[in-house]
């Protein structure tokens, strides 16, 4: 039975309906049941005062937590600890693990392996492959992933004759398809010594070509273009009705300056002009969401010779704090930060998170915007043990609450692994439990 009286009331300066104002929020069974100037009741009242900024919990729609099969790089415990310490209360995990998630049995095995080990809520993607059972997979995943370009895991599907029937089946489910949109036919295989060589092997035309081929699904499929690297791609995707993600590494780094394998990723960081144009697109609010593409590898792997080093950059713990520093410094507004980091991911992937509103999960990321610090890779929680953002300015959350339970206090993790599969929880809601 749904409670009508709150168990807990949180009071403070909150971001509600597009503005920061004093608000009281009533919570019961992990959900928000009342929002207003005054909320009565509550066995516990948490007064956050006026110095804290209370935002909805953030969602990262694109992480690689490496469980199962590659847990030397990351696992659900370390990856979700990183997430919650960075203000993220829900992650969507990609399927290119070992074994890759391409069928119901492998998906259920992965769900069993990670159950009880997450400090944030989570969803598990499945990969689209030729003749996969998308209709059977759909009830158990928040979305699907299509790899048109080769990357970690080699779940490549870049043949239009194979893609078309699978996309038709997914369209019937209503699920989103997040796409690694690089046409693999245009990716070179020449030896690489630095990020400029990697950029030449993976030219921007590979992204344009993939997007042109996806245009046929405009109006039939819900498509999200992952890790956009250039402004033209963002504009074209929007014109087709697709949503877009952007990473911090594509916004901040460029191949001629950030040359080592630490910055090697797919798609690659690009030249300065392309990076600058993407950044301006971001400032204009043309990109739908942040998606970190958190892709941890060990420092030993990333310091090998460039050609043999794996591609991928960790970012789930640092992205939201860097965005909060952008807000604090006036680079972007709070509305844009919350929209890209919380509201839009919740809307796109149909997860009841990302807003301080009745019916949503009681997830909050709470910041003291006066406490600016520098990112210290030694204090981060990922197994990667390094960060290309080391030394950059950030505002980390003071407190993080997930479904009404405090998981971070005074900047330190303090909770238990209470994270749940969002697809399982949605089915429970539909059944009225």
Mean pLDDT of 220-235: 98
- Residue 428's pLDDT is 47
Nearest in space to 159 (alpha carbons), one of 201, 203, 213, 206: 213
279: Cβ contacts below 8 Å, ≥ 6 apart: 251, 252
The radius of gyration computed from the CA coordinates of the chain, to the nearest angstrom, equals 21
- Between the alpha carbon of residue 168 and those of residues 135, 177, 214, the distances in Å are 10, 11, 13
Q: What is the CATH number of the domain that holds 372?
A: 2.30.40.10
Residue 377 has pLDDT above 70, yes or no: yes
Average pLDDT of every residue of the chain? 95
Distance CA(357)–CA(18), nearest Å, equals 11
Provide the residue range defining the domain that includes 113. 57-348
Please classify residue 410 by burial: count the beta carbons closer than 10 Å to its beta carbon, then call 0-12 exposed, 13-18 middle and 19+ buried: exposed
> How many structural domains does the chain have?
2
Helix H or strand E encompassing 35: strand 31-36
Q: What percent of the chain has pLDDT over 70?
A: 97
Q: Determine which helix (DSSP H) or strand (DSSP E) holds 144, and give its type and residue range.
A: strand 143-147
pLDDT of 163 over the 70 cut? yes
The per-residue pLDDT for 131 is 85
- Note whether residue 3 is domain-resident: no
Do β-strands 121-124 and 53-56 pair in parallel, antiparallel, or remain unpaired? unpaired
Q: Same domain for 137 and 42?
A: no
Any residues with CB less than 8 A from the CB of 203 and at least 6 apart, and which? Answer: 186, 188
Based on the domain organization, do 424 and 288 belong to the same domain?
no
Indicate if 163 and 312 belong to the same structural domain.
yes
Angle between helix 272-283 and helix 231-239 axes, rounded to 10 deg: 50
- The verdict on 375 and 232 lying in the same domain is no
Quick check: is 1 in a domain? no
Q: Kindly state whether residues 175 and 29 are assigned to the same domain.
A: no
The answer to which of 37-51, 113-127, 130-144, 329-343 has the lowest mean pLDDT is 37-51
The per-residue pLDDT for 396 is 98
The answer on 35 and 116 residing in a single domain is no
Where is the domain boundary, 348, 372, 397?
A: 348
Q: Find the mean pLDDT for residues 76-82.
A: 98
- Is position 144 within any domain? yes
Q: What is the mean pLDDT of residues 176-189?
A: 97
Which has the higher per-residue pLDDT, 242 or 153?
242
Nearest to 119 by CA among 353, 432, 420: 420
Say what the pLDDT of residue 203 is. 98
Kindly tell me if the per-residue pLDDT of 270 is higher than 50: yes
Please write the tens of the pLDDT for every residue from 1-23.
Answer: 566 799 999 999 999 999 999 99
Residue-level pLDDT at 426: 52
In angstroms, rounded to a whole number, what is the distance separating the alpha carbons of residues 111 and 153? 19
My answer on whether 121 and 201 are in the same domain is yes
> In terms of DSSP bridges, do strands 399-402 and 364-367 run parallel, antiparallel, or are they unpaired?
antiparallel
| The pLDDT value given to residue 4 | 76
Residues 152 and 174 in one domain: yes
Q: Is the pLDDT of residue 427 over 60?
A: no
Least confident segment among 72-81, 148-157, 168-177, 371-380: 148-157
Model pLDDT, residue 418: 97
Indicate if the pLDDT at residue 430 is higher than 90.
Answer: no
Query: pLDDT value at position 151?
Result: 72
Note the pLDDT of residue 431.
40
In terms of domains, do 235 and 150 share one? yes
172 located within any domain: yes
In 377-416, the DSSP E strands lie at 393-394, 399-402, 405-409, 412-413
Same domain, 37 and 114: no
Q: Are residues 313 and 416 located together in one domain of the fold?
A: no
Q: Is the pLDDT of residue 185 over 80?
A: yes
Span of 47-51, 117-121, 222-226 with lowest mean pLDDT: 47-51
Residue 12 phi, psi (nearest 5): 170, -170
**Can you give the length of the chain in residues?**
433
Cis ω on the peptide bond leading into residue 161 (within 30° of 0)? Answer: no
**Is residue 299 a contact partner of residue 313, using CB atoms and an 8 Å limit?**
no
pLDDT reported for residue 432: 46
pLDDT at 154: 66
Of all residues in the chain, the percent with pLDDT exceeding 90 is 94
* 258 and 372 in a common domain: no
Q: Quick: pLDDT tens for 310-320.
A: 999 999 999 99
Distance between CA 62 and CA 221 in Å, rounded? Answer: 19
């Amino acid at each position: 039975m749904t409670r009508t009286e709150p168990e807990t009331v949180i009071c403070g300066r909150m971001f509600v309906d597009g503005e920061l104002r004093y608000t009281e929020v009533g919570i019961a069974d992990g959900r928000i049941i009342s929002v207003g100037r005054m909320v009565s009741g509550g066995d516990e009242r948490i007064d956050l005062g006026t110095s804290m900024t209370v935002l909805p919990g953030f969602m990262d729609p694109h992480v690689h937590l490496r469980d199962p099969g590659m847990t030397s790089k990351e696992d659900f415990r370390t990856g979700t600890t990183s997430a919650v310490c960075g203000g993220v209360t829900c992650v969507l995990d990609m399927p290119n693990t070992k074994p890759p998630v391409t069928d119901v049995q492998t998906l259920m095995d992965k769900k069993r392996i990670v159950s009880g080990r997450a400090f944030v809520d989570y969803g598990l993607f499945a990969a689209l492959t030729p003749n996969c059972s998308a209709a059977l997979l759909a009830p158990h995943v928040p979305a699907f992933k299509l790899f048109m370009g080769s990357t970690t895991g080699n779940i490549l599907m870049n043949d239009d004759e194979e893609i078309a029937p699978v996309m038709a089946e997914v369209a019937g489910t209503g699920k989103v398809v997040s796409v690694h949109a690089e046409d693999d036919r245009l990716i070179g295989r020449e030896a690489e010594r630095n990020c400029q060589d990697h950029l030449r092997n993976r030219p921007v035309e590979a992204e344009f070509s993939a997007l042109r081929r996806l245009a046929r699904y405009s109006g039939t499929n819900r498509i999200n273009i992952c890790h956009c690297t250039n402004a033209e791609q963002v504009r074209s995707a929007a014109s087709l009705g697709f949503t877009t993600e952007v990473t911090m590494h594509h916004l901040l780094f460029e191949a001629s300056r950030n040359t080592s394998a630490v910055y090697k990723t797919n798609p690659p960081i690009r030249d300065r002009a392309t990076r600058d144009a993407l950044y301006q697109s971001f400032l204009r609010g043309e990109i739908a969401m942040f998606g970190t593409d958190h892709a941890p590898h060990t420092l030993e792997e990333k310091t090998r010779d460039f050609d043999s080093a794996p591609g991928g950059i960790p970012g789930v713990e640092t992205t939201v704090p860097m965005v909060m520093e952008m807000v604090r410094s006036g680079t972007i507004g709070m509305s844009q930060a919350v929209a890209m980091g919380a509201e839009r991911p919740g809307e796109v992937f149909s997860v009841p998170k990302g807003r301080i509103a009745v019916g949503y999960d009681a997830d909050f990321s709470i910041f003291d915007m006066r406490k600016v610090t520098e990112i210290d890779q030694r204090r981060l929680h990922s197994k990667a043990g390094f960060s290309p953002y080391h030394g950059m300015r950030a505002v980390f959350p003071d407190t993080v609450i997930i479904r009404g339970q405090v998981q971070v206090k005074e900047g330190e993790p303090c909770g238990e692994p209470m994270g749940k599969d969002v697809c399982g929880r949605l089915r429970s809601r539909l059944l009225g439990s």
